[in-house]
Amino acid sequence: MTKRALITGITGQDGSYLAELLLDKGYEVFGLVRRAATPSTERIEHLLDRLTLLVGEMTDQTSLIDAMETSQADEVFNLAAQSFVGDSWTVPISTGDVDGLGVTRLLEAIRRVKPSARFYQAATSEMFGKVHEVPQSETTPFHPRSPYGVGKVYGYYATVNYRESYGLHASNGILFNHESPRRGLEFVTRKISDHVARIKQGKATELRLGNLDAKRDWGFAGDYVEGMWRMLQQDAADDYVLATGETHTVREFCEIAFSHVGLDWEKYVVVDERFVRPAEVELLLGDPGKAKERLGWQPQVTFAELVEMMVDADMQRVSKAIAFENATS
């Protein structure tokens, strides 16, 4: 029997990699997409003829019930979220509605339509926030530092609660930062790789950043979607940290990214208070021991490989755009 999967947030970075993985494994894949004046399907353009897209919203209970009824999904991956921490102070209420209550809405849809479906919740290392221990594992207490982190803690406990209340096969993946050439331009890694490429090719002169001392445990998104899938293949649902077990500063990311194209980062990076957050998560470092032992999961791409992969992809993209500009001017 062909397995059926429903991915919310299929148009995002992780949604696109997960859709590829599930299609390769022979799944029939359904994706929840928001109605928009301009479609946001760029990351899944190459998959569109193999996917079924369903219009829906994490704030609209009816659409989630419909998505479950239409897809009859065996596995549901909830990746939809207002995922940019920086903006969560600007839109704290809708962030809580989508990232927190939205999880309950989807769990309710599953419980009512197909309680045998397995559920993955995209939880996050942002829940650890002002960290109580280093490294952070599945047993580290939460102390979120943003409306985003607060909303995700709600979603985490909603998932645990539906597992304990109704016996749903519902798991949280507590994922540390994972990046790729498909990362949104607002996140620091992609902001850096994009600026490096534009500075190198004469299209920008500086890169304005906030806190250069922030430390993150950065991995490659393609590795992390494999971990999500493995969680739902276990007999019993549970919660798992996915991380590399290494941490690096934003400054180190800049150093490697600029030096990869032969530039000195200190000549171009300008600290700008506008990008400093009201409350910062200073240090994230994950302990992926449980995922390694129980899921056999470990990341394949190193930090330096990740930075270079992102810079190379942006160098190519910017150079194509310049060639197009020249050909059409």
- Residues 216 and 200: their CA atoms lie apart, in Å, by 26
The answer to whether residue 186 forms part of the interface with ligand G4F (CB under 6 A) is yes
CA-nearest of 188, 175, 172 to 306 is 188
d(CA 182, CA 43): 7
Catalytic residue among 148, 156, 162, 240: 148
188 is a contact residue toward ligand G4F (CB under 6 A): yes
In angstroms, what is the minimal distance from the CB of 114 to ligand G4F? 28
CB of 229 to ligand NAP, least distance (A): 14
Member of 68, 74, 82, 307 binding ligand NAP (CB under 6 A): 82
Identify the CA nearest to 201 among candidates 320, 307, 328, 309: 320
Q: Which of 28, 57, 75, 126 is catalytic?
A: 126
Residues in contact with ligand G4F, counted by CB under 6 A, come to a total of 24
Cα–Cα nearest to 102, from 137, 168, 152: 152
54 binds ligand NAP (CB under 6 A): no
Catalytic residue among 124, 159, 189, 244: 124
The site partner of 121 among ligand NAP, ligand G4F, none (C-beta below 5 to 8 Å per kind) is none
| Residue 296 phi, psi dihedral angles, 5° rounding | 65, 25
CA–CA gap between residue 161 and residue 221 (Å, rounded): 28
Distance in angstroms (rounded) separating the CA atoms of residues 329 and 325: 6
In angstroms, the CA 128 to CA 285 distance is 10
- Verify binding: residue 250, ligand G4F, rule CB under 6 A: yes
Nearer to ligand G4F, 80 or 117 (CB): 80
- Residues in contact with ligand NAP by CB under 6 A are 8-9, 11-15, 32, 34, 36, 40, 57-59, 79-83, 98, 122, 124, 175, 177-178, 184
